[in-house]
Amino acid sequence: MEADHSSEASEASYSTHYCSVAEAMKLTAHPFDGNKRKLREFIENVDIAFELVHPIKHEILLKFVKTKITGDARSKFIVRDLTHTWELGRGILEENYAIR
């Protein structure tokens, strides 16, 4: 009896399918400028972008994400030297701009 490898192969290809950084950045079409009403949308879009990009490319993606943070938010984001991961950067944005 022959083993059925087709389902295993399709699962393996599905689990290793990622988007390019350029494709993922389309999710963050609008920059975040410190508008508290737009923070949740921005964070959710960036979270999805990180899920879609292979972990090896997360450092590059983070550099692109940082360019989408503008104005006062950029100043507060960059002044803190703890933005080498998205999780840390997200925390800084939430600390400064989350609606409480």
pLDDT at 7 over 50: no
Mean pLDDT for the stretch of residues 49-64: 96
pTM of the entire predicted model: 0.80
Domain limits, the chain: 18-97
DSSP code string of 2-24: ----HHHHHHHHHHT--B-HHHH
pLDDT band at 96 (very low <50, low <70, confident <90, very high): very high
Chain center to CA of 89: 10
Contacts of 18 (CB under 8 A, 6+ apart): 52, 53, 54, 57
pLDDT at 40 over 50: yes
